[in-house]
Structure formats: C-alpha cells, structure tokens
Amino acid sequence: MGLFDKLFGGTHAPQPAAQEQQTKVSLSKEESIQKVNLAKEEVHKVCLTKSPLNGLVARVGLVLDYSGSMSSLYRDGTVQAVIEKILPLAMEFDDNGTMEVWIFENGYHRLPDINLNNFYGYVQREITSKYRMGGTNYAPVMQDVFRKYIQEDPAKISDYIVFITDGDNSDHAQTDRVIKEVSKYPIFWQFVGVGNASFSYLQKLDEMQGRYIDNANFFSVSRTSAIQYSDLLNEFPGWLADPKVKAMLK
C-alpha cells in the first residue's frame, strides 16, 4: 500500500499495467469514477457543516512537489491517489468540475486540467513520462498560480490551492515576498506536508508578519496518519468569511 493510500484512505486508480508502479490492488476506470463520486458526497457533507462553503463557487488548484525525494511516491501510485482525493473538491466547488494542476521542482510546469474524464492514469500519462525531477523551490510555481488566476483569468470568485510537498524549500526569502503580495488577492493556500522531513518554513506561516490577511494554512501528516476533508477545509471557511476577502470579491 502506498503512502497516500495510508494518508487519504482507500485504493486508487492504477497506472498502466506496463509500469513498475502497478499496485497489487487496483481499480478499473469505472470503479475509480465511482469512488471519486462517493468522495464528492463526503465533501458535500463537510460543506453542509461549514456555512461559508454552502453553495460556494470557487476554483480549485493542485500543486504537486516534483522534487527527487518524491520519486517513490510517484512510482508506487500514491500521487495518483492525491489527485483522486482532491478532485472531488473541484467537483463540489468548481462550476465545471475541473481542477488546475501544477508540478514544481526548481521551476514549475502547468499541466492539463483534470476532470472526471481524464483523471485515471494521469500521473504516468502527464507527469512521469514527460518531466525530470529537481530541487524544491516554492516561489516560481506560486507566482504562476497568481499569474493564472489573477492576471490571465481573473474572476470574482475565490481560489483554493492545495499545495503538496514532502520537505522545506530552498527559496524562503522569495516565497515570503510572493505570499505577502498574494495575500492582497482572493487566493487561499492549503499547504500539506507529507512524511517526516522538516517543515520549519511552513510551520512559520501562521505567524508570518507583513501579510494583508492570513492567506495560508499548514499541517503535516506522518506515514501512519490519515487526512480527512475536514482537515483540508479547516481554515478555508474562516478566510472566506473575513471582511477583507469579501471586499476582494466585490
């Protein structure tokens, strides 16, 4: 069982049979679609308990660490499980059920949007067969998320970004500048640290000074922990309810 199976629960869509990362327990495409649809129902139940999320229309983005230390998580199919865990959020919030996706190392790459029609086998098809891994810089991909949602495709709705990483970044000062500047815009960053590496930088986010508004949340999970949608959506409703955010969306 892969790490993200443990973290997010359940089995996940397999990579193509020719790949080394084929899992012992695999689901057909139809079974995987059914599983994702059931997860959307779980997301909806969480939203019913948090009034700012009721009927919310928002864009959902997924940012995936593609540094070398993540290689085993891509090989064994666990990153595919992340996609299948986050996609139901987009299906709940986004008016067309589509999720924008980035990978990052020293730089970044925008990937094809994910929806219910193309999520199956996405990691092997769109990521591992095309790109090389590198280091860990947050600022370049965060700048591009800002560029995509605020400059290229502005909309009077909020943007919710799930940012998955297994270790601290090498560009603290640059990331500080980006997150402070982006705090003036309706983008919320949900950072999730995976594994037992140091996340000292992300742990400082809640205390970071100089932001217009607290625009980020962070939590980490170990190899034996489990994440629920209630964890992923813990601070997002409070951010949405803030008068400063409401003013941004007018």
Whether residue 7 is predicted with pLDDT greater than 90 in this model: the reply is no
% of the chain residues with pLDDT over 70: 88
pLDDT (average), residues 67-80: 91
Q: What is the pLDDT, as a whole number, of residue 153?
A: 97
Whether residue 130 is predicted with pLDDT greater than 90 in this model: the reply is yes
Number of domains in the chain: 1
Task: Give the tens place of pLDDT for each residue, 234-245.
Answer: 999 999 999 999
Predicted confidence band of residue 8 (pLDDT cuts 50, 70, 90):
very low
Find the CATH number of the domain harbouring 195.
Answer: 3.40.50.410
Tell me the residue range of the domain where 161 lies.
3-248
Q: What is the pLDDT, as a whole number, of residue 95?
A: 84
Task: Give the tens place of pLDDT for each residue, 14-46.
Answer: 444 334 334 435 789 999 999 999 999 999 999
Predicted confidence band of residue 197 (pLDDT cuts 50, 70, 90):
confident
Residues 6+ apart with CB under 8 A from 154: none
Q: Where are the beta strands (DSSP E) in the chain?
A: 58-65, 99-104, 108-114, 158-165, 187-194, 216-221
Radius of gyration of the chain (CA): 17
Cα 115 from Cα 19, distance rounded (Å) = 23
The DSSP secondary-structure symbol of 116 reads T
Give the rounded distance of the alpha carbon of 164 from its chain centre: 6
Whether residue 63 is predicted with pLDDT greater than 90 in this model: the reply is yes
Half-sphere exposure (Cβ direction) of 122: Cα atoms closer than 13 Å: 26
Cα 45 from Cα 62, distance rounded (Å) = 22
Task: Give the tens place of pLDDT for each residue, 96-116.
Answer: 999 999 999 999 999 999 999
Three-state DSSP state, 108: strand
The DSSP secondary-structure symbol of 205 reads G
Are the C-beta atoms of 88 and 116 separated by less than 8 Å?
A: no
Are the C-beta atoms of 189 and 217 separated by less than 8 Å?
A: yes
Which one is predicted more confidently, 156 or 12? Answer: 156
pLDDT (average), residues 124-149: 97
In this structure, are strands 216-221 and 99-104 parallel, antiparallel, or unpaired?
unpaired
pLDDT (average), residues 183-206: 92
Q: What is the pLDDT, as a whole number, of residue 223?
A: 58
